[in-house]
Amino acid sequence: MINPKIKVIFSRPFVTISMTGIEKNIPTFIVYAEVSMLIIGEKLNSSIPSVKALMDARDMNGLIQLIQKQTDAGADYLDINTALCQDELDQMKTILALILEHTSCGIMLDSPNPQVILSCLPLCQNRPVIVNSVTPTDRFDELVPALVQTYKTVGLVALPIQAKEKENLDAFIQKLTDAGLEKERIYMDLLVESIATNDGAGKRILDTLTHLKTNHPAIKTTCGLSNISFGLPSRPVLNTTYVAMVAALGLDSAILDPLSPTMSKTLAAIRLFQGEDEYCMDYITLIRELEAN
C-alpha cells in the first residue's frame, strides 16, 4: 500500500506541495519557481547522532558552525529536522532563528507533525521555504488550508513509478497541465533508494530522467542524492559519480552533503562544464581553498 509523504516547497512567489513515498520506488512531484540547480544541505538533521547531540546540548556555537559551513559550501537551502528531539517544536524554532540570524539561505522545515510546520512558517520572515515530511490524509487537510491562505499553492498527488509505468507518469503530468499547472513550474522528486538493497535503483532514476527530458523537457527534477550510497563503503565516490551522471541528464536540484570536499569539487566541475563558471575562476578558487585547508 502506498504511504506517501508531502513535500511543500515555498519560493517567492510560489508554494509547492508534493508527495514523496515512504515505501520504495515512489517518487514525488514538486512545483517550483524556475531556478538553476539548487543544493539543499542535509546536515541539520536529528537522525544524525552527532547533530542530535548538538541539539540536545543546546550547543549554539556548534549549530551556528554547522549552519555557516553548509551555506559557505554553497547550500541554497538548509534542511531542519528535529523530530527525534524531546521538544521538537522548540528545537525547530531555535535552529530556525539561528539560520535567520546567521545566513541568507532558504529554509527546509522537515517534520512529520503539521503543527510544528504551521508554528514555524510565520517565523520564516520572507525567506524561501521548503516544508518536508508531512503525510497526506488528515495531516494534509490540516496543513493545506493555512498554506492556501498565505501563498499561491498547488497540491500534487503521489504516483508509484517504475520504468515500465512511464505511461502512468505521462498521464499524471497531463492531468497536472490540464488543471492549469505549467510544466515549467513542476519539479519531480524521485525517491532515491540505496543501490545496496536494490541494484536497479540507480538505473531506474536514470531511465526516468531520460524519459522526462525526452518527452517533457520543461519538467524539472530533484532527488535526495545521498540515499543512493547508503550502507556501502566509499560513499563519497558513489555520491559524486552519481551526481555527475544525473546532472548530465539534466537533474535540476539535489538534497546532499555540501560539506563533502569530494562533492564540492564535483559540483564545481559540473558548473564549469555547463558553462556557468567564467574563466574557471570558481573552480580554481575552490580548489585553492580546499588545498589551503
Residue 264 lies in a domain: no
Name the residue range of residue 62's domain.
Answer: 4-259
Which helix (DSSP H) or strand (DSSP E) does residue 277 occupy? none
H or E element, residue 242: helix 235-248
Q: What is the dihedral of CA 197, 53, 21, 156, to 10 degrees?
A: -150
pLDDT at 147: 55
d(Cα 105, Cα 39) in Å, to the nearest integer? 11
Phi, psi (degrees; rounded to nearest 5) at 111: -155, 145
Residue 176: the pLDDT is 61
* Domain tally, the chain: 1
Local confidence pLDDT in tens for the 293 residues of the chain: 223 333 433 333 233 334 343 333 333 443 333 336 889 899 999 999 999 999 999 999 999 999 999 999 999 999 999 999 999 999 999 999 999 999 999 988 888 888 898 899 889 988 887 776 544 445 546 665 655 444 322 223 333 455 456 777 777 677 667 655 567 756 677 778 899 999 988 998 888 888 888 988 988 777 889 999 999 999 999 999 999 999 999 888 888 999 999 999 999 999 899 898 999 999 999 999 989 87
Residue 155 in any domain: the answer is yes
Q: What is the pLDDT of residue 157?
A: 32
Q: Is residue 276 part of a domain?
A: no
Phi–psi pair at 177, nearest 5 degrees: -70, -35
Q: What is the C-alpha separation between 185 and 156, in angstroms, rounded?
A: 12
Residue 290: inside a domain: no
Q: Decide: 118 and 143 in contact? Cβ < 8 Å.
A: yes
| 293 assigned to some structural domain | no
The answer to whether residue 271 sits within a structural domain is: no
Alpha-helical regions (H) of 20-136? 49-56, 60-72, 88-102, 114-120
Is the distance from CB of 131 to CB of 9 less than 8 angstroms?
Answer: yes
Position 162 scores a pLDDT of 57
Give the full edge-to-edge strand order of the sheet including 253-256. Answer: 28-31, 186-190, 220-224, 253-256, 38-45, 77-81, 106-110, 129-134, 4-11, 14-21, 152-154
State which amino acid sits at residue 19: M
Please report, for the domain that includes residue 66, its CATH number: 3.20.20.20
Residue 83 pLDDT: 95
Residue 101 maps to a domain: yes
CA distance 101 to 71: 13
**What local confidence, expressed as pLDDT, does residue 121 receive?**
87
Give the residue from 131, 169, 135, 133 showing the smallest Cα distance to 153. 131
